[in-house]
Structure 1
Amino acid sequence: MPEKSYPMTAEGKEKLEAELKNLKVVKRPEVIERIKVARSYGDLSENSEYDAAKDEQSHLEDRINVVEEMLKYAQVVDATSIDPDEVAVGKTVTYTEVGETDSETYTIVGSDESDPLNGKISNDSPIAQAILGKKKGQKVTIATPGGKFDAIIDKVED
């Protein structure tokens, strides 16, 4: 079975490290304190504060495990070491749909860094999958849930 890997930018890895520290140093003690306070109310069988705090603790520990896993198998991509005209994680790509005049620009990032409203798309997204490894000037077919379209890669930037 191949080893897992989570491609991400250096910035994305730093954000995950900061999130993990916050979860462990700030959030975990807060939840533990809430559980302790809720326990002091007595009968745990009908204690909604206790149940809510335990649920929150479960979600918190799940997120800690996910972030630790991602950091353990992080594959930081150095976009500057890749051909300047090749689409890769960490690069910003501008393309124009064939027959259209308006172009679209996205930065390809690791899945946890994805923020489409701010122009950051996951390397697992249909658009990224279609253009990863391609080069400036190349025509590509992009298959999205809304249908297929052809596009020309106009620009690739670090």
Structure 2
Amino acid sequence: MSRAFTKEQDDVPAGLVERPVSPHRNLVTQNGLRLIEAELARLQTELGQATASGDKASIAHVSRDLRYWTARRETAELNLADQDGDVIRFGMQVTVENEDGRQQSWMIVGEDEAEPSKGTVSHISPLAVALFGKSKGDLVTVNGRGLEIISFKAIN
């Protein structure tokens, strides 16, 4: 077959696949929405630079990420927690105490915003799912560990 009839993919990285988009509702906090918009702006700038330099590999990578974040922005559902809520919901900071008396606080946020090492967990995580609908003093079990809810508040 003549080379004229093949796609020009020589400069596109082999194995570059689309980033998977979660099938779950894309709930976001105000901060999560700001992070998505900042990432879109950064990627648009990066795409312009890659296009200007003619770097096809960078264009492919940035375009792929731009498609992902565009989809996440289009499906984002800003969800603000009720400041006077009497049960735990999305957008709340929750403090729990484990069986050893150690306390930990977690903010329940969107999937793209979650960083457990920084104290944020996704609303679809086992911890968040176990906490939803509970109140101060309630007990939950997550991964075989008993936790008592000490306090919670909206993080808006």
Shared fold (TM-score greater than 0.5)? yes
Paired residues, number: 132
Q: 1:9 matched to which residue of 2? A: 29
% identical equivalent positions: 27
User: What's the counterpart of residue 89 of structure 1?
Assistant: 90
8 Å contact from structure 1 (residues 4, 73) kept in 2: no
Equivalents in 2 of 1:63, 1:18: separation in Å?
A: 13
Match of 1:73 in 2: 75
User: Per the alignment, do residues 56 and 132 of structure 1 end up closer, same or farther by CA in structure 2, a change over 3 Å counting?
Assistant: farther
Match of 2:39 among 9, 19, 26: 19
Of 50, 59, 67 in structure 2, the residue corresponding to residue 31 of structure 1 is 50
* TM-score computed with the length of structure 1 as normaliser: 0.76
Q: Which residue of 2 aligns with 1:48?
A: none
Deviations, residues 52-73 of structure 1 (Å, cap 9, x unaligned): x323222211111111111111
- Cα–Cα, structure 1 residues 127 and 4, in superposed 2: closer, same or farther, change >3 Å? closer
Secondary structure of the corresponding residue to residue 135 of structure 1 = coil
Shift of 1:4: 5.7
Runs of 4 or more above 4 Å deviation:
none
Asked if 1:105 corresponds to 2:105, the answer is yes
- 2:140 counterpart of 1:140: yes
Extract unaligned runs of 5+ from structure 2: 1-22
Matched-pair contact (CA < 8 Å) for 1:85–1:156: no
Cα-Cα RMSD: 1.8
Structure 1 unmatched ranges of 5 or more: 36-52
Tell me how far apart the structure 2 counterparts of residues 156 and 4 of structure 1 sit (CA, whole Å): 24
| Higher helix proportion | 1
Contact 1:7 1:74 in 2 (8 A): yes
SS in 2 for 1:155: strand
Return the offset for 1:16: 0.7
Supply the AA of the counterpart residue of 1:136: K
Q: Is the 8 A contact 1:91 1:157 kept in 2?
A: yes
1:157 maps onto 2:153 in alignment: yes
TM-score normalised per structure 2: 0.77
Q: Equivalents in 2 of 1:140, 1:7: separation in Å? A: 23
